[in-house]
Structure 1
Amino acid sequence: MTRLLLGVTLERICKAVLLLCLLHFVIIMILYFDVYAQHLDFFSRFNARNASRSHPFSNSSRPNSTVPSYGPASAEAPSPSTKPSTNQSTTEKPLQPCQETPPGLVGRLLIEFSSPMSMERVQRENPDVRQGGKYSPPDCLPRQKVAILIPFRHREHHLKYWLHYLHPILRRQKVAYGIYIINQFGEDTFNRAKLLNVGFMEALKDDEEYDCFIFSDVDLIPMDDRNLYRCYEQPRHFAVGMDKFGFRLPYAGYFGGVSGLSKSQFLKINGFPNEYWGWGGEDDDIFNRISLNGMKVSRPDIRIGRYRMIKHERDKHNEPNPQRFTKIQNTKMTMKRDGISSLQYRLVEISRQPMYTNITVEIGRPPPRLARG
């Protein structure tokens, strides 16, 4: 009798384990199905579009060239020995503006940082990117010219992953862009906002046609390419939900991580503050500047504005700024005198790498703090 009860109990346990395994498998499939379905849908649409565009006289190396059409074998078709008239010339079909919603977007992306990454691999995967990290779509006229500015120091490992993911995303978004790494020289206290002011000035010196500026931390990767890196009628906050915040805004006025302003919007707020030395506060000051100048922050949908952060230890010489809370409260009084109008720095070096432009600058050091009492 005891053996019978033991056998029945073991049988029930086995069935329960099998049921749990099946339930786990179903949940995993549901979580990943949406991502893979979007990838499959993208490739099917891509193949269908290519098939519909095929033509017996198409020239794959020059997709925008105009090809003459000839009737059946007749005198109208030039023979190999016939020399074309000097008045005849091949005309290029004028490019049309890029679509507001690019047709080749994938949607949700699988972002991981476990695979080893090298700059050689990034360069090999992005042969269309020009020296200095510049690109413009060859098949349409981009609506904006975007400078992407990254404040930087000792983050080479993160930069490789950022370039690996962002170059393909930006190309699919049909963005005309240049990537600028603003590298702080020396080991004094880090100043994120001042570096971004420097990036704005140096990018315009490099190309005065930039009309949109996106400011991005090097450790943040978008998880959806429908989060379009362009400027809008209002200043844009792209990083709505980071994984470290549970994919939600930490507070309503948060403007950190990745943001974008047009040239006119940036100048209207006098750029970013120069006096936030160390970690924290400058993004809240920027949010205040936007609000005080009669503008509102726009954001993508929370399901699209998701980001993954590359985990890392806090940087040396970037400790929390103890003065940040006092400075944030005084934005109204300081924004007219502290910003792009008061920016001072020394350019150390500009180096144009295959995947980005490196701008090394010396921005000084924080003023000495007054001793209490």
Structure 2
Amino acid sequence: MRDSNLNFGVLHRTCKLLVFFCFVYISATLVYYAKSVNFRLAFVQNHQSHSKTESSKLEAKDAGASELIVTLGSNFSESSEPGHKTLEQCPDPSPLLVGPLRIEFSSPVSLDTVRHENTELHEGGRYTPPDCVALQKVAIIIPFRNRDEHLKFWLYYLHPILRRQQLDYGVYVINQAGDETFNRAKLLNVGYVEALKEYDYNCFVFSDVDLIPMDDRNTYRCFSQPRHLSVSMDKFGFRLPYNQYFGGVSSMSKEQFLKINGFPNNYWGWGGEDDDIYNRLSSKGMSISRPSGAIGKCRMIRHDRDKQNDPNPQRFDRISHTRDTMHKDGINSLSYSVVQVEKDLLYTKITVDVGKPTK
């Protein structure tokens, strides 16, 4: 009987212990399950919230991108090339202009100095504004022979002026080879043709190498009418010598130039071609535009007349027949051969053989 009671007592304690362990286990399981449910709920809520936030961010980002395209559409190209930027058009007039300039020729300049001061240029005397799109593409054409010192002054003064005018430009020095009689107008025709081989210029400035503008507001570009830029030269007491004068520095658009068949090719020696050009313009119903006398001031580098550039004795007869000859003597009858092309930082020099006058 005693053994039975003992065994029952042990069994009773064992059962109580098992029940306790089961209770602890069930309690722990319930607690763990409850926490797990809360965690899942929190995770789901957090995930949903995060998804909404990300979705909102993406929508905002898309909206911002659309707004950016609308706002900066004119500043960026439609090209698929990343980072390719399209600039706004340059203002007119340029905000960089300073007005009247002091022009002196007493101290010589070197090409190395000019190169050092114009590091923004590209080979061949090319420049494009870095911050805006130029209004015009301008080829500046200089008829040339044996004027190296004058060219240095021209490059020294003109490159800073042209950059401030925010032009997309190139400088072409058209050098006549040999020692035959000089032909300024034909060299200008050559410059027109050669410049277009390199770039799609739509404006052409024809400039003597010895003329420097005294005001950078005298913009070297084209206008609705052919433009005479060297209006008041110190050589003429800062006055226009006569109303039909079109010499020194002038500009014409491509359309204006072709309308008059370019310049005549048969003016050998000094004088006459400017008046021939005026007659051509007049015969096509065009008039000459000019800046004011104050803005159009220019200084000329004093020099003796070049050899093989004596006054042309035939000029007056040729001028009187411009209307008859202009359609067959000009850009459509131009013939020449290129001898050499030199690319400097400051200019493109093209040496050409333009032939010699016919007897």
What interval of TM-score do these two structures reach, taking the shorter chain for normalisation? Answer: 0.7 to 0.9
For residue 102 of structure 1, what is the aligned residue in structure 2?
94
Q: TM-score, normalised by structure 2?
A: 0.77
2:216 aligned with 1:225 = yes
CA–CA separation in structure 1 for the residues paired with 2:158 and 2:133: 20
CA–CA separation in structure 1 for the residues paired with 2:218 and 2:131: 21
Provide structure 2 residue ranges, at least 5 long, that are not aligned to the other structure: 1-80
CA–CA separation in structure 2 for the residues paired with 1:159 and 1:212: 22
Question: Which of 160, 165, 173 is matched with 1:168 structurally?
Answer: 160
2:181 aligned with 1:189 = yes
Instruction: Write out aligned runs for 1:5-16 (5 A).
Output: none
For residue 205 of structure 2, what is the aligned residue in structure 1?
214
CA gap 1:275/1:93 in 2 versus in 1, 3 angstroms: closer
For residue 265 of structure 1, what is the aligned residue in structure 2?
256
Provide structure 1 residue ranges, at least 5 long, that are not aligned to the other structure: 1-88, 369-373
Question: Which of 323, 330, 352 is matched with 2:343 structurally?
Answer: 352
Question: Which of 272, 281, 299 is matched with 2:290 structurally?
Answer: 299
**In the alignment, residue 312 of structure 2 is paired with which amino acid?**
N
Bigger proportion of residues as helix: 2
Deviations 1:145-178 (A, max 9, x none): 0000000000000000000000000000000000
For residue 28 of structure 2, what is the aligned residue in structure 1?
none
CA–CA separation in structure 1 for the residues paired with 2:271 and 2:97: 34
2:242 aligned with 1:251 = yes
Structure 1 residue 205: deviation in Å? 0.8
**In the alignment, residue 96 of structure 2 is paired with which amino acid?**
G
Give the greater-gyration-radius structure (CA).
Answer: 2
SS at match of 1:288: helix
2:104 aligned with 1:112 = yes
SS at match of 2:197: helix
2:146 aligned with 1:154 = yes
CA–CA separation in structure 1 for the residues paired with 2:343 and 2:193: 17
Deviations 1:92-117 (A, max 9, x none): 66411000110110100000001120
Q: Which runs of 4+ in 1 moved over 3 A?
A: 89-94
For residue 325 of structure 2, what is the aligned residue in structure 1?
334
CA–CA separation in structure 2 for the residues paired with 1:143 and 1:90: 26
CA gap 1:196/1:90 in 2 versus in 1, 3 angstroms: closer
**In the alignment, residue 218 of structure 2 is paired with which amino acid?**
N
CA–CA separation in structure 1 for the residues paired with 2:311 and 2:345: 34
CA–CA separation in structure 1 for the residues paired with 2:255 and 2:137: 14
CA–CA separation in structure 1 for the residues paired with 2:240 and 2:155: 25
2:123 aligned with 1:141 = no
SS at match of 1:265: helix
SS at match of 2:146: coil
**In the alignment, residue 245 of structure 1 is paired with which amino acid?**
F
Percent identity between matched residues is 63
CA–CA separation in structure 1 for the residues paired with 2:194 and 2:326: 21
Question: Which of 179, 182, 193 is matched with 1:201 structurally?
Answer: 193
SS at match of 1:337: coil
2:326 aligned with 1:322 = no
For residue 240 of structure 1, what is the aligned residue in structure 2?
231
Deviations 1:292-316 (A, max 9, x none): 0011110001110000000000000
**In the alignment, residue 148 of structure 1 is paired with which amino acid?**
I
CA–CA separation in structure 2 for the residues paired with 1:199 and 1:91: 36
Question: Which of 95, 108, 123 is matched with 1:131 structurally?
Answer: 123
Deviations 1:187-236 (A, max 9, x none): 000000000000000000111x1000000000000000000111001000
**In the alignment, residue 264 of structure 2 is paired with which amino acid?**
P
2:336 aligned with 1:313 = no
CA–CA separation in structure 1 for the residues paired with 2:93 and 2:211: 23
**In the alignment, residue 313 of structure 1 is paired with which amino acid?**
D
**In the alignment, residue 216 of structure 2 is paired with which amino acid?**
D
Deviations 1:247-304 (A, max 9, x none): 0100010000000000011000000000000000000000000000011110001110
CA–CA separation in structure 2 for the residues paired with 1:99 and 1:182: 31
**In the alignment, residue 348 of structure 1 is paired with which amino acid?**
V
Structure 1 residue 90: deviation in Å? 7.5
Q: How many residue pairs get matched?
A: 279
